[in-house]
Structure 1
Amino acid sequence: MPSFPIKKILLLGFCRLAEPIAITSISPYIFFMIKSFGITEDEAQIAKYAGIVSSSFAFSECLSSVIWGRLSDKYGRKCIIILGLCGTSISVLWFGFSRSFTMIIIARSLAGLLNGNVGVIRTVVPKT
């Protein structure tokens, strides 16, 4: 009887944590980041812009999830998971260095588009 693949499960668990960290890591400072751009001084408007930035990630991820699933069937799940993690890392760094509202929208949307790992990891776990 084969032993339980604890190392593989832990590794997949850490890969799975990348998405919620990428989504929620901006919450403490997005308000102040948008305020620093000088778009508006109205706090209600800044909150609206923060909501747009936050939702751009989820919307983009929703659009690309099926594509990532098909790509994982064609090129392999491991390759797609690594590509998704690298894409998320690059786009999160890009977000951090952004100096305009347009740039943070593009960076967050790119992070969502490149983060198709949720479905792919769910298909890998039963096969380990």
Structure 2
Amino acid sequence: MTRAGRPPLRTRLLDEVLEEMHALEGKALEEFLAETGFDRDELLASYDRSYRSFEAAAGRRQFEAARRRLSRDATNRRSLNIEASRKRSVYAAVKEHVAVTGAMMVAARNRKIESPDDLDSFLEACLMLGVIDENGNLKD
């Protein structure tokens, strides 16, 4: 292997030390650590910190990926642009459309909208299903 392709000296030395440590156990490992100047408790604490740091970094990466997906979904998501006073008439038009075409079942709500939040949720679902557009107009 050429000199440019070799790992740095520090990496090679650490690899060698780790290789040596993996081959040892018990008293032989204790003697090796004492000879090389490593403190067993400090090594364990350092390993524990490194491991927790690695886990935290992995968790942060997962969190950031989920955050990007939500952000992307939010920007791709269409939203209703209907005045509050018009929402009931859009709901009535959807009900009439369903009665005529049978294209969508409103039975999941027992054909009842009991609160403004129910109405908003229903209209958002209609938008997502393609029954209405962003302005509340029925789609064919």
With structure 2 as the length reference, what TM-score do the two structures score?
Answer: 0.23
More helix by share: 1
Structure of higher RCO (CA pairs closer than 8 Å, 6+ residues apart): 1
